[in-house]
Structure 1
Amino acid sequence: MRAPLPPLPCVQAFEAAARVESFVAAAEELHLSPATVSQRIRTLETHLGVRLFERRARSVELTELGRAYLPAVRESLADLAAATNGLFGAVRREQLTVRTQVSYATTWLAPRIHEFQEAHPGIELRLVCAVWSEALTPGEVDIDIHQGRGPWSGVHSELLHHDNAVVIHGPAHLARYGPVTSVTDLAARPRVQVLGFDDVWQRILPDNIAPPERITVDTSVTAVEIAAAGDACAVVPERFARTAVATGRVSLALDRSWPMRQAHYLIRPLDAAPHAAPARAFLRWLSDLEQRSTPLAKAAE
């Protein structure tokens, strides 16, 4: 059975008196009388069954047990103050939950999300990808970003932005095969295929010609990593390739991009309430980010 804790006001009086080495100074800090501080410390000593201070004519000094007790008291009071301020302080952060695909969160949002945090320090952002979606309760998602061929039945879908695809490769591809001079070159080179984007490769490659090797993955972020580390080309949405291109991990095989049939949409239940202020702030930031971003390649005609 846990021993009963000492009264908190007595513990606070002990910590203050030990820190300033004076009952009078502690009383001024706590807005109490010296007699009240002295009484509270005596109550604590009675509760513990030990003396915590040596009383002198003009000062007080911690006993050996008092010095041993002080660090634990200070840590406990600091933890209590931090927890109280975090949960019930005057400044409370609003939580915003954004659900999206792994590739969108990893390649597009993650490298830039610090901009949103700096602009909106009062919003606590939570990014949730598909692997955790089932753990969310209804109404817990504030913004739901989905890539596909909308619209979808049973929900309200709003176009967030169109996507173009680019062909990327890593240094190993250039070392083994040399630069890509035309789409015809791609027909003889290994490729990475992202599930759902088959139509893009079909439109890029010459009719009835397929590359000799193919790796199929289910996320664009995996395709980017394979292209960066291996010798295969990959077709991915342009926005997912920008950070890897900017850092030199991959490069464009061709200075062209191809429109995708898939796009990114905001998905909401038909009976959902209008977006709250934190969600509107995040969507404005996404829109501004889109306008500030320069495409990697010119669109194919």
Structure 2
Amino acid sequence: MAVPPSLRSLQAFEAAARLGSFVSAADELAVSPAAVSQLVRGLEEQIARQLFNRVNRSTVLTEAGRELFLQVTGAFGDIRTVSRDLSGGERRSSLVISVAQSVAMGWLSSRLPDFMDHHGAIDISLRGEDDPVPFERSLIDIRLSYGQFYYREHVTEEIAQDCVYPVCAPAFLERYGPLAAPEDLLAARLIHTDWGPSSASFPTWKSWFDSAGVTADRDVQRGMTANSSRAALDLAIGGLGVALGQGMFCAEAVEAGQLVVPVGHVIALDQPYCLTIPVRSAQRSVVMAFKTWLATECVKSIHSPALRPC
């Protein structure tokens, strides 16, 4: 009869996989890194599977390691919860949310109080990061991504497809307008967004003019450049030019009268916004409640009636 793996070896593996290193796992378990390494090696030998790829001082889960981690992480999480409850700790809901930096800065952080007001005390970890994200290592419960091609091993649901709009401050339009047609913007001061090398598919002013049938020369690259959507919109709100703003991010400023949409030509983004939830989180009521709330907020901004041209 095969001898089952020891609880200690499984505990060492789970901690190393969750924390991303043997050293961190050793600190949590109050043992030496060598002891963690020995326990994991013994587990690998017993099940005849390599669980980690060891590169220099980092540890990366293999496919077999990811499969085992999915099987044990929930059990050890329950044990930690029971231990906390028995020791008199207060039991609270927790939620690990992962979004792009542009979503975390301002847009989501300003809306979270509304969710908290309706769902009580929740410990929230808000992570602003680029795709792909380490779902298991960081115990992420829900991820909002641009595009649905990153996490095929998890259930991913399309939420909405956004557009980009030319936006400027009302004072800028009064001073430099009228800007009623796409060709009028050729002479306007433009604000560009440097999306970075990993976001080459996002529209630029050149692609906006091309899609409107307007020939733009090299001078279209003149003006100011920001390295985030939020910064570009802030420059536009300050009256420094016309920016291309995603509906989700600029709707609130348009609704408040800080920005206007002077020209009706818009470009749809190539990919939809999607929500991904790992299997271990899909049965948690707080995760599903947040999913419904977040999807509603996204759609509300993207389809705001205020985004119609002025």
Task: Normalising by structure 1, report the TM-score.
Answer: 0.59
Question: How far is the alpha carbon of 1:290 from its aligned partner?
Answer: 4.5
Distance 1:137 1:291 in 2: 28
Question: How far is the alpha carbon of 1:135 from its aligned partner?
Answer: 10
Partner deviation per Cα, 1:256-288 (whole Å, 9 max, x = no partner): 54321132122456xx43522211010111233
Distance 2:127 2:151 in 1: 23
Task: Provide the aligned length of Structure 1 versus Structure 2.
Answer: 210
Aligned AA for 2:232?
A
Distance 2:138 2:98 in 1: 12
Question: How far is the alpha carbon of 1:124 from its aligned partner?
Answer: 2.5
Which residue matches 1:241? 250
Gap regions ≥5 residues in structure 2: 1-83
Distance 1:241 1:154 in 2: 30
Q: SS where residue 268 of structure 2 aligns?
A: strand
Which residue matches 1:251? 260
Which residue matches 2:100? 101
Instruction: Say if 1:215 and 1:207 are closer, same or farther in 2 by CA, change over 3 A.
Output: same
Aligned residues: percent identity? 23
Distance 2:137 2:237 in 1: 39
Which residue matches 2:215? 208
Aligned AA for 2:246?
P
Which residue matches 2:116? 117
Q: Is the 8 A contact 1:99 1:144 kept in 2?
A: yes
Output aligned runs, 1:58-73, within 5 Å. none
In our comparison, the structure showing a higher alpha carbon Rg is 1
Which residue matches 2:233? 224
Instruction: Say if 1:268 and 1:107 are closer, same or farther in 2 by CA, change over 3 A.
Output: same
Q: Is the 8 A contact 1:165 1:257 kept in 2?
A: yes
Distance 1:138 1:280 in 2: 21
Question: How far is the alpha carbon of 1:136 from its aligned partner?
Answer: 8.9
Which residue matches 1:273? 280
Instruction: Say if 1:129 and 1:153 are closer, same or farther in 2 by CA, change over 3 A.
Output: closer
Instruction: Say if 1:110 and 1:153 are closer, same or farther in 2 by CA, change over 3 A.
Output: closer
Question: How far is the alpha carbon of 1:289 from its aligned partner?
Answer: 3.0
Question: How far is the alpha carbon of 1:134 from its aligned partner?
Answer: 8.4
Report the aligned-residue RMSD.
Answer: 3.3
Which residue matches 2:143? 144
Aligned AA for 1:232?
G
Which residue matches 2:23? none
Q: Is the 8 A contact 1:191 1:234 kept in 2?
A: yes
Which residue matches 1:128? 127
Which residue matches 1:198? 203
Question: How far is the alpha carbon of 1:179 from its aligned partner?
Answer: 3.1
Question: How far is the alpha carbon of 1:223 from its aligned partner?
Answer: 0.8
- Once the two structures are overlaid, the 10-residue window that deviates more, 96-105 or 199-208, is 199-208
Aligned AA for 2:207?
Q
Instruction: Say if 1:185 and 1:213 are closer, same or farther in 2 by CA, change over 3 A.
Output: same
Partner deviation per Cα, 1:111-146 (whole Å, 9 max, x = no partner): 322221111013222221128x98997142111111
Which residue matches 1:29? none
Distance 1:259 1:268 in 2: 26
Q: Is the 8 A contact 1:100 1:146 kept in 2?
A: yes
Partner deviation per Cα, 1:153-199 (whole Å, 9 max, x = no partner): 65444312211211111245325412311111112222222224235
Please point out which of 287, 293, 298 is paired with 2:295.
287
Which residue matches 2:164? 165
Question: How far is the alpha carbon of 1:99 from its aligned partner?
Answer: 1.0
Partner deviation per Cα, 1:83-102 (whole Å, 9 max, x = no partner): x99x9455x32110111112
Q: Is the 8 A contact 2:169 2:238 kept in 1?
A: yes
Task: Normalising by structure 2, report the TM-score.
Answer: 0.57
Which residue matches 2:273? 264
Instruction: Say if 1:226 and 1:178 are closer, same or farther in 2 by CA, change over 3 A.
Output: same
Aligned AA for 1:122?
A
